[in-house]
Amino acid sequence: MTSFRFAVRALALSLALPATGALCVVGPTSAAVAVGNPIGGRQLAARGVIVNLTPRVPPPPAMPAASFLVADMDTGKILVARAPHERHLPASTLKTLTALTLIPLLDPDKLIMVKPQDVRAQGTRVGIMSGTAYSVDTLLQGMLITSGNDAAYALARGNDSLAVTLAQMNVTAAGLNAMDTVAKDPSGLDKAGQSSSAYDLALIGRAGMKLPSFRRMVSTKNATLPNGMTADGKRKPGLKISNHNKLLFNYAGAIGIKNGYTVAAKFTYIEAATRGGKTYLVTEMSSAQAGWRPTAAMMDWAFAHGASVAPIGDLVAPGKAVPPKPRPVPAPAAIQAQTSAQLPLEPALPFWVGVAGVVGLLALVRARSRRSIARRRR
């Protein structure tokens, strides 16, 4: 009788819990929802190259980047992508976020005194001089045109401090719904925890190109910047700088915007070009191959077939309410096993089915108990 009671209780519990949803596995389900509902559209979660081809449209050219995205910069419609929300190190493409953050905050004519720590920056430098004051506009040109890390640090410090600037950069990214982006260094040099994605770089690049000064700088091929004074008080010759964006020199209609490289990040790009009234934006991350030709081939495909391809998603508007995109957390092995045991998933039973089952089982137990007692009394 005792074993029968335990069996009945176990059976009642097994009916009641699924009916009320108590066996829902929150970990894997939440992760699946986050991956399956990325910002910009569900199709962006697909694997491999994502594109809606028609019989008359050839496949897009191969891209060497681990992740990339191609979008109409005006409408925000995304034509093709691969792993657009995959996080990578951005390298100097992050300078576009630095500029997008600081241009609205700083007077372009404000003078910033360069400090020794600025000129000791690692990586690419413009050549600004310690103890010399440069205008915000000059430093922005040095940062965006020739990717000067020294200029990036001087700007960030001139905006109060690196810490304040980084906090503002992350606020700017969040306002754009660039949820894959975490800024840890205003120059884009590799830092632990720093990241962005092809999707986010498209949001940032698109927003930057709406600022006239930003657009002017990233489309500038060559410039001469004013320089500092020598020890005897004479002004040094101007700093001649050239844009690091090779597409700007080699592709008809190219209008910017920024490239980057570190050993860890590999080659990263944000590029834009305009032809025939259409402007396309291409972003690439973690590319093992340097050079402008793969981007040019993709631009050619977009200009030739973009109007015939159904979009796979959208670059969302700044400030538009979207659900947060938490990082997927792998489920523990025990939970994964439990989840697998429940597949294939079926719709949960209505609550009343579980209750009715429990009530019926309890009635059965009570009836059997009464019969047992009656037999003993006989």
- Catalytic annotation, residues: 92, 95, 147
Contact 257, 263 (CB under 8 A): no
Strand-strand pairing, 239-242 and 222-225: antiparallel
C-alpha to C-alpha distance for 88 and 180, rounded to whole angstroms = 9
**Residue 236 three-state SS:** coil
3-state secondary structure of 112: strand
**Is there a contact between 133 and 113 (Cβ–Cβ < 8 Å)?**
yes
Residue 100: both structure tokens together: 């997008």
The one-letter code for the residue type at 356 is A
What are the residue ranges of helices labelled H in the chain? 2-20, 26-36, 95-102, 116-119, 136-144, 149-158, 162-175, 198-208, 212-218, 247-250, 293-305, 333-342, 351-377
> C-alpha distances in angstroms, 365 versus 12, 370, 375, 377?
11, 9, 16, 19
Structure tokens at 234: 């004479």
Q: Does residue 138 sit in helix, strand or coil?
A: helix
Evaluate whether 293 touches 302 at the Cβ level (below 8 Å): no
Q: By CB neighbour count within 10 A (0-12 exposed, 13-18 middle, 19+ buried), where does 352 fall?
A: exposed
55: left (phi > 0), else alpha (psi -120 to 50), else beta? alpha
| Entry field: residues in the chain | 378
Tell me the residue type at 89.
L
